[in-house]
Structure 1
Amino acid sequence: MKPYRVPQLARKYVEYDMIQQHTEMPAFPDSRTRLMFVFLNRNAQELHASEDELYALVTSLVQMGLDTHDMIDTLSGIRSPEEMRSRQLKVLAGDYFSSRFYQLLALAGRITAISKLSDAVCEVNAGKMSLYWGMKQFRLDATQYLTQMVRFKKELFLSFTSLIAEQDQEIWKQLLNKFALCDTLVEEWGKRTEPGKSRFGYVFWHIYGNGDRNEQALLSESGTDTEAWRKLVLKYKAEDAILDKLRTAVTHIRQILSDDQNTGIEEFERMLEPFLKLLNSPHPVVREG
């Protein structure tokens, strides 16, 4: 298999000093992008030169654009000049990342691929609108939230399933689902201690679903303070819930790989490294106050 270099190719589109200095950016979707590249590369004889790399690149850029827009805070209230600049840069950066796929695919003459990705983006955006409505109505639980977030993280990549060898398509979809779940859980882990970032996230719905009426009323208010939030994270063992699900997902990935004799396990083990690192690291417990 040829070397995987999509993250290096993506740098020219996502690494800008102005953006990096003044606003937070989402992580590059490396595990899903690498997974897509591996399966496309296995069917390389049916693709034009470097299409495996091109499709993995443009899909990762669109995903970065969507993820960047998801980080834009929608809370009302007065913002500082720094917060306003950060917000504006997220809007612009998300639009820029998403627009690059049109240019790259058009230059390569891959008009059908433009249609595939555009349709997938529409599906994701429609799904998010439905999810946000459920959030605002408090008609959601932690499992439903996680299922929808995983769907959003795999939708773009699934749009290229027809270009993957037919005998590989089922295992591709199974692995993509599990890697999207792992990516989602790592993302939720990263924001678990901050009530602002965690609002309407997995930890929020985990606590809301297990909490009493007073705690649910507290969460329903938009300004839960950090101390109160951390008490709830501790009480309902939200960190354990994330890590347990991540551990189970990694186990399932290994089981899928061991059941398929045509899949080289070594290359997929590299994709698991970030998740294993989190699982094997000592985790400082969220403390009150």
Structure 2
Amino acid sequence: MSSFHLPELAKQYTQYDMIRLHTEVPAFPEARSRLLLAFLHESGNAGKSAESLTLAVSLVQMGIDIHEMVSMSNQVKEKKAVRSRQLKVLAGDYFSSGYYHLLSEAGEIGMVEHIAGSICEVNRLKMTLYARIRQLKLTAEEYLQQMAGIRAQLFARFDHLMKSGLGKAWQDILECFTRCELLADELDQLGNPERLRESWAFWRMREQGYGELLGQLESSADKQEQINALMQKCRIKEQLLQLLDEQVGHLYEKARRLDSDRLMQELLQIGDPFLRLVRQPPAAGGAMR
């Protein structure tokens, strides 16, 4: 079965009317799932077992992602918002619980404990990062590195299932992919005032000497327009595109070093959306997305 079918298979665990009515469902981690499945197939873990492993860890990732959407504020009183918050928590737990069923059906009981350990490590890494965010003790590169590490964590610990010689390549290429994915998301969310502090742009502008102004903007009533103006002044979009361009170059270089032409071609195909994003023509008038 092609990896393109996995998002459809995931819907039987995620597409419930009660969930969709009250909250947004996070995107299926398609790039990472396709990547993992390609490496598992190349290592001889073909068929339903590889697909079940990949789908299981993808559902756990979606569970973690929807928990990230839960508002941390206790000031939410409006009934609809409260219900949405409750459904995010319950949906995240429900998505994650799907991996028990999938792994038991595939006879991969040992992987239950393995993935559980990865979940604990993700939570530890997130707590460390959020503490540094609150303390304003991050550089832009540290933010990018730690966020990419959090995204890769659940998938990284499958290296023991890779055949000899592929384990190291798996770690290196996964790191490149998660950085590409993160940079693409940063471009997509560029200028979103609700995610200002949790963005590469915030830390980069602080490095460029705008820390005090950013602090004022976070509490400003018309912060959207001011944030966009500051990002244009700092050329944040151009810097993100340059970082993505460099990362795509690293990714393609590592892919071409692989011994398997089949795996190399699959990885180049998975990375094609990132390449197209870098090569897209600039928006008219330089407007931000």
Same fold (TM over 0.5): yes
SS in 1 for 2:238: helix
Q: TM-score, normalised by structure 1?
A: 0.89
1:112: how far off? 1.1
Indicate the residue corresponding to 2:103 in structure 1: 105
Indicate the residue corresponding to 1:33 in structure 2: 33
Alpha carbons of structure 1 residues 138 and 213: separation in structure 2 relative to 1, 3 Å: closer
1:21: how far off? 4.2
Indicate the residue corresponding to 2:270 in structure 1: 271
SS in 2 for 1:32: helix
User: 1:44-70: CA deviations, max 9, x gaps?
Assistant: 2xx485211111110111111111111
Indicate the residue corresponding to 1:131 in structure 2: 129
Alpha carbons of structure 1 residues 18 and 181: separation in structure 2 relative to 1, 3 Å: same
- 1:1-289 → structure 2 map (5 Å cutoff): 3-4=2-3, 5-44=5-44, 47=45, 50-75=48-73, 77-78=75-76, 80-218=78-216, 221=219, 225-264=223-262, 265-284=264-283, 285-286=286-287
1:119: how far off? 0.4
User: 1:164-206: CA deviations, max 9, x gaps?
Assistant: 1122112111110011111111222222121112332211111
- The RMSD of aligned alpha carbons is 2.2
Does the aligned pair in 2 maintain the 1:195–1:224 contact within 8 Å? no
**Paired residues, number:** 284
Q: TM-score, normalised by structure 2?
A: 0.89
CA distance in 2, matches of 1:130, 1:222: 28
Percent identity of equivalent pairs: 34
Does the aligned pair in 1 maintain the 2:76–2:82 contact within 8 Å? no
Instruction: List runs of 5+ in structure 1 lacking aligned partners.
Output: none
User: 1:237-278: CA deviations, max 9, x gaps?
Assistant: 111122111111111111112223324332122201321332
Does the aligned pair in 2 maintain the 1:69–1:90 contact within 8 Å? yes
1:18: how far off? 3.5
CA distance in 2, matches of 1:225, 1:277: 31
Alpha carbons of structure 1 residues 106 and 192: separation in structure 2 relative to 1, 3 Å: same
Alpha carbons of structure 1 residues 122 and 139: separation in structure 2 relative to 1, 3 Å: same
Instruction: List runs of 5+ in structure 2 lacking aligned partners.
Output: none
Alpha carbons of structure 1 residues 243 and 107: separation in structure 2 relative to 1, 3 Å: same
Does the aligned pair in 1 maintain the 2:217–2:226 contact within 8 Å? no
CA distance in 2, matches of 1:223, 1:119: 43
CA distance in 1, matches of 2:210, 2:78: 36
CA distance in 2, matches of 1:80, 1:11: 29
CA distance in 2, matches of 1:25, 1:211: 37
Instruction: Kindly report structure 1 stretches of 4+ aligned residues shifted beyond 4 Å.
Output: 219-224
Letter in 2 for 1:159: R
